[in-house]
Amino acid sequence: MQRYHTPLDLVRSRPVEGPVACARPDRLTIAAHWFQDNFPGEVLYAVKANPSPWVIDALYAAGLRWFDAASLAEVELVAERCPDATIAFLHPVKSRHAIRRAYFDHGVRIFVLDCEAELEKILVETDHADDLTLIVRLAVSNDGAALPLAGKFGAGEAEAPDLIRAARAHAEALGVSFHVGSQCMAPNAYGAAMAEASRLIAKAGVTVDIVDVGGGFPAPYPGLTPPPLSDYIDAIERAFEGMMVLENADLWCEPGRALIAEAVSVLTRVELVKGEAVYLNDGAYGCLFDMVHAQWPFPIQVHRADGEASLQTAEFTLYGPTCDPIDTMPGRHALPADLAEGDVIEVGMLGAYGTAMATGFNGFGQVETCKVDDYPWMSLYSPAAPVPAPADAVIPAAAGDRILPFARAQRRRRARLMRKRG
Ligand SMILES: Cc1ncc(COP(=O)(O)O)c(C=O)c1O
């Protein structure tokens, strides 16, 4: 991976042809340490958020050894790069081939299910193994999420107790899991989901060894600044105390977005300015999928290879490179009034569901990755970035003052260490 001090250095030192993902592995390391130090259980990285090899390697180097895979390809990716990792196959619907290969070729023992038919597939394809950890995925409210995921997966009230009982009969270890929705803005959503899970476990009347609170931990976006991550940990710890599970039950989480979002920005080149229309070489079918899908105002700034862009701004509409009209970024964007072909737009906070979403539609989708050393615009992990935010970055006034209370995190970490030392 080529390395530059900042994205602007990159733009000034060479032509930017296709989109470039600017990777900040150090930011990922900080996030991984935070979760491992503060979450009172196992932290499984949700590979789907960003399966780039550098991401897997940086997490591994940061000490993370548990991974949530959604497909056989993700299982193979982690198994190849991290031979001693624990891989959990946490997609509720898996092909029989994928289950068999995961179990027999890659040592996967943890499988999720949300119905009897999937349980039957897992049992048959593992030749009725007696060393399975089975996780029953429950349907829970996604009301606190900026991007709800409810409706597609999860056993509901009617079927969950029977399913939990059925899985118990075949599991060496049994867990329940849920997903409160992506970019969950309400820490108490975890508490509510855990209370619901507890109720369903009590109805099933069996013991449960694992509570997996899933993903949904947020990242900061302009106008979408979540509470400190420590509030989420507090809510989960409080709710766990009250759950109907074994005294020594384990707690797991599967963060994707919160670990990787702030570690990557994407450079996309202006190919044409036609009045108020700006045509880019990345868009809805590429790394900017979430600009269109989630419709969040991602932070953007402009870099010019030679000279400075105008300080005066004008409103533009941004179009992606494909011929499909849905390849249009919603809303209007205030950009330098003299924006021109060859200028490079940097879109921040695109580490999660950014490069992972790029398709080859219309022949686009090749994304180069470079390493940069600057700080992201926003962070839930650092009290202050030593490099000031760029003047033209689109940051809401509130974004800078919602930071992790470090002293509290340190106290918590110290308390945990003391407990560990007995
Ligand atoms: C099963 C599962 N776990 C974890 C995640 C990661 O979620 P997030 O990126 O919101 O943390 C997802 C995302 O869709 C998921 O489906």
pLDDT at 420 over 60: no
Confidence grade of residue 122 (pLDDT, cut at 50, 70, 90): very high
The fraction of the chain above a pLDDT of 70, given in percent, is 91
- The predicted pLDDT at position 121 comes to 98
Task: Please tell me the class of the 25-260 domain.
Answer: alpha beta
If you average pLDDT over residues 62-67, what whole number do you get?
A: 98
Q: Is the CB of 286 under 6 A from ligand 1?
A: no
Cα–Cα separations (whole angstroms), residue 335 to 222, 322, 371, 391: 16, 22, 25, 12
Expressed in angstroms and rounded, the spacing between residue 89 Cα and the centre of ligand 1 is: 12
Q: Is the CB of 216 under 6 A from ligand 1?
A: yes
Residue listed under structure tokens 């193994």: 129
Between 344 and 409, the higher pLDDT residue: 344
Q: Where in the chain is the domain with CATH 2.40.37.10?
A: 3-21+262-400
Among the ranges given (64-73, 84-93, 197-206, 375-384), the one the predictor scored with the smallest mean pLDDT: 375-384
Q: What are 255-271's pLDDT values in tens digits? A: 999 999 999 999 999 99
Expressed in angstroms and rounded, the spacing between residue 149 Cα and the centre of ligand 1 is: 9
Q: Is the CB of 193 under 6 A from ligand 1?
A: no
Q: What are 39-51's pLDDT values in tens digits? A: 999 999 999 999 9
- The predicted pLDDT at position 399 comes to 31
* CATH fold label, 3-21+262-400: Lyase, Ornithine Decarboxylase; Chain A, domain 1 (2.40.37)
Q: Where in the chain is the domain with CATH 3.20.20.10?
A: 25-260
If you average pLDDT over residues 310-330, what whole number do you get?
A: 97
Cα–Cα distance measured from residue 419 to residue 422, given in angstroms and rounded to the nearest whole number: 5
- The predicted pLDDT at position 318 comes to 98
Expressed in angstroms and rounded, the spacing between residue 274 Cα and the centre of ligand 1 is: 39
Q: What are 275-297's pLDDT values in tens digits? A: 999 999 999 999 999 999 999 88
Q: Is the CB of 94 under 6 A from ligand 1?
A: no
Expressed in angstroms and rounded, the spacing between residue 406 Cα and the centre of ligand 1 is: 26
pLDDT at 405 over 50: no
pLDDT at 384 over 80: no
Cα–Cα distance measured from residue 263 to residue 26, given in angstroms and rounded to the nearest whole number: 8
If you average pLDDT over residues 136-161, what whole number do you get?
A: 92
- The predicted pLDDT at position 108 comes to 98
Average pLDDT value for the chain:
90
Among the ranges given (38-47, 267-276, 341-350, 379-388), the one the predictor scored with the smallest mean pLDDT: 379-388
- The predicted pLDDT at position 377 comes to 79
Q: What are 179-238's pLDDT values in tens digits? A: 999 999 999 999 999 999 999 999 999 999 999 999 999 999 999 999 999 999 999 999
pLDDT at 168 over 70: yes
If you average pLDDT over residues 366-385, what whole number do you get?
A: 84
pLDDT at 409 over 70: no
pTM here is 0.90
The protein residue with its alpha carbon nearest to ligand 1, atom 13, reads 215
Please choose from 55, 182, 217 the residue to mutate so as to test ligand 1's pocket, defined by most ligand atoms within 8 A of CB. Answer: 182
Q: What are 10-29's pLDDT values in tens digits? A: 999 999 999 999 999 999 99
Angle subtended at Cα 25 by Cα 21 and Cα 31, rounded to the nearest 5 degrees: 115
Among the ranges given (75-89, 117-131, 239-253), the one the predictor scored with the smallest mean pLDDT: 239-253
- The predicted pLDDT at position 421 comes to 42
Among the ranges given (268-277, 308-317, 375-384), the one the predictor scored with the smallest mean pLDDT: 375-384
Expressed in angstroms and rounded, the spacing between residue 49 Cα and the centre of ligand 1 is: 7
Between 402 and 38, the higher pLDDT residue: 38
Please provide the size of the chain in residues: 422
- The predicted pLDDT at position 383 comes to 57
- The predicted pLDDT at position 386 comes to 38
If you average pLDDT over residues 107-115, what whole number do you get?
A: 98
Please choose from 47, 59, 68, 179 the residue to mutate so as to test ligand 1's pocket, defined by most ligand atoms within 8 A of CB. Answer: 179
